[in-house]
């Protein structure tokens, strides 16, 4: 079976998260204003925000780490296309206990779990302490982290993902308090809009839905259809109005 036969994956997404072009541009402008020389992207995927940051800061170098080889290969291709291959490295490795710091700027969007013990429940406080360890004095951290916009109902939790429970996320105020306790000041606090969520959720499945419509009898169709239907239902019937994502621009204290 060739790659052409397989369902497409994430080709309609620019960013692997609910992030608009306008918000990304503003985030990068604020980050670039601190003139970082070294940038680390944790759980980088294909590193779109990392590449744009390097474009905005001539001479800066970056490292993106992730455990998904396919996404990393996409990032390397994008770097070559943009003339950034000499300034960025995409590395397939775990971020747990990483020694790739301290650096001037860190991107960690939807990936703080990569900094936590996989045998333990996700702990944003532990991730924030790791980010504080990895950033230089005067540096910046851009953290994209999930939070409850409100406490979800039992019915919504049951429709989300297996084992979903209210303790998985904090309310926004409590999450920001954790960042302060970890040794940061929150220089900018913003949250993804419903439009950004809809763009991401639809883009996440778009190519696969089109493929399923054109290949209803493909050997992988039943499995793919079941997976996509679960994902879409989890969003529409579960976390659509309960789960948010905040983008925090954090400055280390001291």
Q: Is the pLDDT at 8 greater than 90, yes or no?
A: no
Segment (H or E) for 140: strand 135-148
Q: What Rg, from alpha-carbon coordinates, does the chain have?
A: 19
Determine the pLDDT at residue 58: 95
Average pLDDT, integer, range 132-136: 98
Average pLDDT, integer, range 194-222: 95
Q: Can you tell me the distance from the alpha carbon of 197 to that of 68, in angstroms, rounded to the nearest whole number?
A: 23
Average pLDDT, integer, range 14-43: 97
DSSP letter, residue 212: H
Q: Is the pLDDT at 44 greater than 90, yes or no?
A: yes
Closest CA to 187 of 75, 33, 47: 33
Which ranges of 82-193 would DSSP assign to H, the alpha helix? 124-134, 154-159, 172-181
Output the DSSP codes for 228-247: HHHHHHHIIIIITTTEEEEE
Query: What's the pLDDT tens digit per position in 48-98?
Result: 999 999 999 999 999 999 999 999 999 999 999 999 999 999 999 999 999
Backbone angles phi, psi at 233, to 5 degrees: -65, -40
Determine the pLDDT at residue 7: 79
Average pLDDT, integer, range 108-112: 97
Average pLDDT, integer, range 201-221: 95
Q: Can you tell me the distance from the alpha carbon of 251 to that of 137, in angstroms, rounded to the nearest whole number?
A: 8
Determine the pLDDT at residue 87: 98
Q: Can you tell me the distance from the alpha carbon of 240 to that of 53, in angstroms, rounded to the nearest whole number?
A: 30
* Average pLDDT over all residues of the chain: 96
- CA angle 130/197/4 to nearest 5° reads 90
Determine the pLDDT at residue 133: 98
Closest CA to 180 of 112, 97, 248: 248
Q: Is the pLDDT at 9 greater than 90, yes or no?
A: no
Q: Can you tell me the distance from the alpha carbon of 43 to that of 161, in angstroms, rounded to the nearest whole number?
A: 21
Query: Residue 3: pLDDT band by 50, 70, 90 thresholds?
Result: low
Q: Can you tell me the distance from the alpha carbon of 228 to that of 145, in angstroms, rounded to the nearest whole number?
A: 23
Query: Residue 189: pLDDT band by 50, 70, 90 thresholds?
Result: very high
Closest CA to 205 of 230, 232, 223: 232
Closest CA to 169 of 250, 248, 249, 244: 244
Determine the pLDDT at residue 6: 73
Query: Residue 230: pLDDT band by 50, 70, 90 thresholds?
Result: very high
Tell me how far CA of residue 150 lies from CA of 36, 156, 217, 239, 243, in angstroms: 36, 12, 41, 10, 8
Q: Are 138 and 252 in contact (CB under 8 A)?
A: yes
Closest CA to 27 of 49, 42, 46, 47: 49
Q: Can you tell me the distance from the alpha carbon of 39 to that of 61, in angstroms, rounded to the nearest whole number?
A: 6
pTM to 2 decimals?
Answer: 0.95
Q: Is the pLDDT at 4 greater than 70, yes or no?
A: no
Q: Is the pLDDT at 151 greater than 80, yes or no?
A: yes
User: Domains plus CATH for the chain?
Assistant: 9-197+232-252 (3.40.50.150)
Q: How many C-beta atoms lie closer than 10 Å to residue 10's C-beta? A: 18
Q: Are 57 and 32 in contact (CB under 8 A)?
A: yes
């Amino acid at each position: 079976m060739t790659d052409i036969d397989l369902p497409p994956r994430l080709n309609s997404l620019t960013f692997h998260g609910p992030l608009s072009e306008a918000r990304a541009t503003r985030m990068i402008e604020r980050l670039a204003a601190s003139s970082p020389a070294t940038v680390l992207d944790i759980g980088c995927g294909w590193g779109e925000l990392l590449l744009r940051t390097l474009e905005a800061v001539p001479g800066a170098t970056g490292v993106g780490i992730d455990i998904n080889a396919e996404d990393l290969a996409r990032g390397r291709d994008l770097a070559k296309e943009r003339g950034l291959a000499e300034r960025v490295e995409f590395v397939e490795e775990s971020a747990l206990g990483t020694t790739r710091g301290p650096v001037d700027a860190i991107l960690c969007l939807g990936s703080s779990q990569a900094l936590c013990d996989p045998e333990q429940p996700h702990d944003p406080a532990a991730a924030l302490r790791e980010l504080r360890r990895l950033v230089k004095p005067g540096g910046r951290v851009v953290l994209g982290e999930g939070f409850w916009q409100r406490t979800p109902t039992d019915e919504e939790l049951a429709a989300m993902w297996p084992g979903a429970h209210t303790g998985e996320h904090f309310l926004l105020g409590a999450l920001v308090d954790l960042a302060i306790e970890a040794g940061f000041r929150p220089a900018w606090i913003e949250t993804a809009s419903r439009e950004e969520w809809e763009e991401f959720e639809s883009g996440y499945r778009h190519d696969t839905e089109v493929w399923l419509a054109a290949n209803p009898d493909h050997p992988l169709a039943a499995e793919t259809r079941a997976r996509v239907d679960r994902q879409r239902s989890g969003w529409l019937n579960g976390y659509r109005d309960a789960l948010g994502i905040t983008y925090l621009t954090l400055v280390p204290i001291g």
